[in-house]
Each structure stands twice: as structure tokens, then as C-alpha cells.
A and B are shown apart, each in its own frame.
Chain A
Amino acid sequence: MEAKKGKYGLYGGQYIPETLVPAVQEVEQAYDAYKKDPAFQSELRQLMENYAGRPSLLYYAEKMTKDLGGAKIYLKREDLNHTGSHKINNVLGQVLLAKKMGKKRVIAETGAGQHGVATATAAALMGLECEIFMGKEDTDRQVLNCYRMELLGAKVHPVTSGTMTLKDAVNETMREWASRMEDTLYVLGSVMGPHPFPMIVRDFQKIIGQEIKEQLMQMEGRLPDAVIACVGGGSNAMGSFYEFIPDTSVRLIGCEAAGLGVDNPKNAATIANGSIGIFHGMKSLFCQDEYGQIAPVYSISAGLDYPGIGPEHARLNELGRAQYVPVTDAEAVEAFEYLSRTEGIIPAIESAHAVAYAKKAAPEFDKNQILVVTISGRGDKDVAAIARYRGVEIFD
């Protein structure tokens, strides 16, 4: 997908202050070297298998399939990874890279807290200091994850600037990195930011799609007809899609958070409503006003509550290779409950966006066709919020 280093068509790039350029170039050079280093790759594979619990299951959702009466549905169970989401894949790679680079400390942004928890976990495992930046609004709605990070030895900084959500957490982590990069690596959580992060995160996440392909080949002897994943910045989706990009018979479908609806100002559907801009180090699509002020987006899902999308997704969308669909809060909550009841799997509210679309789409497919839905994380963290959404007050 990369025509020129760090560019995906016209998207991507390295739009960062001069202070940070040498730090980002240092990551680029280190990654280029370790990517080809068999010892690094073998150490990472060990961690993925013996610590994260890979490969994750590809589970045939038989009840859901029968209930919907269309395509055969498989769930890629990233929720079963250690720490409960796909975020661990990227973080083990990046924190290992940080350690090899001789860094003593990692910093990261987090939305729902999954990337923060994963980073804190990997830092604890590898003996690095860890500080997490999280929007104040998200620290309020994800209290459990905050405490989890602290248990893991990380320091959590609630971010009170701007809209106090994920984009502000990214701003603050960049500011922190600009003030201290000598001993610190910014472990970016999604396929976004300046080059090389979109590439690094995709490389560490592409194992999801590789496993889907291999597992489905064993179980069904064929490729899927569609791969469906939720998209905020887009790391689990890029990880699920990447292996299938050359297989043009496989439809790639990203599910964006439409909040209260794509026509309601309270949404975070970047492909549906965004326009090209340059922000957070990259040229990509963003929700913004006519003067380029970034929009205060909204979703029930803290992990999808982001006004942009990774540059490679913007490119896949432009090429028509992947398709992006909006899913509302209401549809996601309904799918959250549906998967819990139907399959006994409580998905993350982020992943429930993909489940919601699969529910809608499955009946339109033939019974001999196969849909794979990536369950990017587990939903324990969301139980209190869903209860609140349904008018039940529980204390988590």
C-alpha cells in the first residue's frame, strides 16, 4: 500500500514539530533494523504465543448463523487475548522495540483504556516505566481500566484539555514526548500518527488476518467472503484486513461509530462525514469544520470516539478496496446484548459495532458464504456503561 515511504496515496506523512522529528526518525531506523532481525522476531513470537495466548480462536458462531439465516459467521476472538483485546499484539511489539532501543520509559494515549492496559502490562513484563494519558471524560467512564493500569504499575494522567477524550489524550502524549524523548518511546495505539507508526502498528496487528486466513483454510478450505471489523483509528480493522488486500474476492468492511446517527452532530463517523486534513502527524480524513477546527466527536464507545482514521484506511476507502459503514450507539448496544445472549460472548462495545453490521448484512449473503467478524475485545469494561444506557445504575 505504500507508494512512497510513509505515504498511502496522498495520505500519511510525518507532520510533526521539528523537536520530535529526530525521535520519530530514531523509531523508524530501529524498526527497520529489528523488523529484519530473526532474534527480535523470534522473541516477539514467543511473547505472542506464551504470554498473549496466540493464536486466538476463530470460532464458528453457529447459533448466530442459524438465527440470522444467511452467511456462515465466524468470530475472530481477539477478546480472548491476554488483557482482553487485540491491543496486546501491537504493544508487545512496540514495548519490545522500546527495550531494544534502550528506552527506560514508555508513554501512551488511551481511549477506552484497552491500549493503556495493554501498554502497562507489557511495560510491567519488560521492566519499563509507564505513563498513560487518558481524557478526563474517559477516566470517568472507564474507572475499572484506570485502576487496572495503576495495579500494573503505570501512572495515569487524566487529560483535561479540549474535549477531554481520545484526541486530547493523543495531543497530550505528543506534548509529553516532545519534552522527553531521550529515554522514552511513545507507544502509539492505532494505525495513525506520523510515519512510521501507521506501518509499525499495522505490521504488529496483521497477525489477526494471517491467522484468520490460515484457520479458515483449515476449517473450510477457502477464503472468507467478507471480513468485518470496527474502526476508530483502525488498528484491529487494519490487522484483520491487511492479509486479504490482494484477495479481491474478499470484501473488507470497516464499521465506524455513528453515535446518535450520521446526520446528528453527535457522531464519530470519519469516512461518512470527514474531509481531508492534516492532524496528529498524518494527512488523512478528519471530522472538522470548514476552517479545519477538529470536531468534538461522540460515540458511546470511548475506543471509537476519535475524529480521524488511519491513513491506510483513507487510502483503502479511496481505492474502493474497503468499504466503511456507520453504526449507531443504539445498534451497537443491541448487538452487544444480542451476542451476549446468543453466543455467550460479551463483546467490547467497540467490537459490537462490527457485530451490529454483521447482523444486518448476514441475511443478504448466501448460506454457503462466509463472514468473519473480528471481536477486537471483551466487554467486561462496558457492562456498567451499557447498564446506564438501559437506565440501570450499577456501581463498578
Chain B
Amino acid sequence: MTRISKAFQNKKAFIAFVTGGDPDIETTEALIPQMAAAGADLIEIGIPFSDPIAEGVVIQAADERALKAGVTTDKLFDMVKRVRGTVDVPLVFMTYMNPVYTYGTDRFVKRCAECGIDGIIVPDVPFEEKEEISGACVASGIELISMIAPTSNERIEMIAGQAKGFLYCVSSLGVTGIRSSITTNIKEMIDHVKKVSDIPCAVGFGIATPQQAQEMAAVSDGAIVGSAIVKLIAQNGRNCIEPVCQYVREMKAAVVSASCV
């Protein structure tokens, strides 16, 4: 069983996102094991990109901070390798296709495997273009995470049928970022998936409060939170570890409580 499957085994998962190298590599390196200890079942590490078209302003700003601080893909690989020596939590890279392609797709995915990365999410590679990277992922045992969106409708079966690891269910139209309410019928989306696949479904985009996390986890297999964590990092800089972990504990508790509903 892969680390990603274990994260969803007999439980709902709380998935935490951080932008790698924001505000610096050392802080990210310290955050990852601490977030795992605080209850994060899977951690997504964003490789910053100059032009992140699927991100809202909070993660855009984090990408800018990290790049300004001199973070590179190689520095993140090295950091992940060190962290993997101390934690068993599944680690997933989230980035755009250009940093992967430019690094050399095969070389990039091989390095992911060497450093202990479990999966990769590439939001600008939809189902129709996934051959760009899927072959390399299969060869190296890296799970390529697929996404479905509120607009996917009849595409859901096709995407879910070939999805690996877990299915990232985008809760809302638009970009990542904190939302006061989520209006998409998530249950209907997930039911659609479950008709064709038993792949775990985690909901992301817009989730910030424990109540939202609980509601989303209640109808799915987990909740993904990015911007709300990144905002805490922006506010607290290098002193972010305690506030982030406190937040992770609250969100994890909310997700766990959804299992009992």
C-alpha cells in the first residue's frame, strides 16, 4: 500500500499545503514534520512558479516571496530528501508544468522518487495532456494526482477512471483562496466519482474554517487547505510554526469529527 493510500485508510484525511521556501527553506523544513505531528495526513509542497495561473492572491504572493528568497527546484528536492529521513507522512509536490518540463520531465520525476516524494499535482495539465508526464510518473512510481472541477460534469467518469493516489476535487470556480461559502454541490460530484471508482476524494479550494472542513469532509474523504495556512505563514514569517500547528490541530479535529457524523 502506498503512503498516499494509507493516509485515507479507514479515515478522512486532512491535507495541508505550504509553498516551498516561504519565507525560507529552513522554515518549510521545520514546518513539515511539525504539521505532520499536529495531524496533517498528507502534505502538499508547492514549488513556486513565476506565473501561477490557478492561484489566488495569497499563494501568488507566497510564490513571489519564495522566489525572491532564492528558492529553486533543486533546493526543494534537497530539503525534501532531508525531511523524508525523519517523517513518514505522504509528501506531494504541487507545481505547474513549466518548472517540470524545463527541468526535464523524466529527470524531475526520477528526482521526486529519489527524494521520497509520493505524488505530484500539476494543475495546468488536464486529462487530455496528461501523457506529457504520466509515463514518467508510472516509470518512477510517483502518483500523478488528477483534478475534477465544478465544470467537469460528464468528464468526471473519464478522469476518475484513470486517477491515481487521490482525486483532487476543486470545490469552486476560479482560483485558490479563502471563500466565505462553497456553493457547488460537492456531494453530487463525489457520488459521480464513486460510481466509477473507489479512489479517495479530497476537496480543496476555498476551505478555511473548521466548519467548512467538517462539511467538506463529511461528504468526501478529506479536506485540502492551502491559502489559510499560507496566510498564517505570511503573517508570522519564521515564527509561523506554532500558529500553523495550532490551526492544523483544529482543522484535523474538524475533519475527524466529520467521520463520526
Contacts and interface: CB of A to CB of B under 8 A. Distances in A.
Contacts of A40: none
B148 interface: yes
A17 B101 contact: no
Contact of A292 (B102, B124, B127, B132): B102
B128 interface: yes
Contact of B126 (A17, A174, A175, A294): A17
B79 interface: no
Contacts of B128: 14, 21
Contacts of B149: 17-19
Given A162-B50, A294-B50, A19 B98 contact: no
B147 interface: yes
A22 B150 CA distance: 10
Contacts of B126: 14-18, 21
Size bin of chain A's contact surface: 35 or more
Interface in A91-136: none
A278 B98 contact: yes
Contacts of B123: 17-18
Given A14-B129, A175-B175, A179-B174, A293 B53 contact: no
A278 B97 contact: yes
B174 A15 contact: no
B159 interface: yes
Given A18-B149, A277-B102, A293 B50 contact: yes
A286 B101 CA distance: 12
B124 A15 contact: yes
Nearest to B148: A18
Contacts of A330: none
B125 interface: yes
Contact of A279 (B51, B127, B147, B151): B51
B72 interface: yes
A291 B174 contact: no
B100 interface: yes
A13 interface: yes
Nearest to A292: B102
Contacts of A288: 98, 102
B243 to A, nearest CB: 26
A11 B37 CA distance: 45
A97 B53 CA distance: 25
Contacts of B152: 18, 21-22
Given A22-B155, A23-B151, A292 B98 contact: yes
B173 interface: yes
B236 interface: no
Contacts of A292: 49, 73, 98-103
A286 to B, nearest CB: 8
11 contacts: A13-B129, A15-B125, A17-B53, A18-B149, A18-B155, A22-B151, A161-B60, A174-B53, A279-B97, A293-B50, A294-B51
Given A14-B128, A283-B101, 18 more contacts: A15-B124, A15-B126, A18-B151, A19-B149, A19-B151, A23-B151, A162-B50, A167-B51, A171-B51, A171-B53, A178-B54, A181-B173, A275-B102, A277-B102, A278-B101, A279-B51, A292-B99, A293-B67
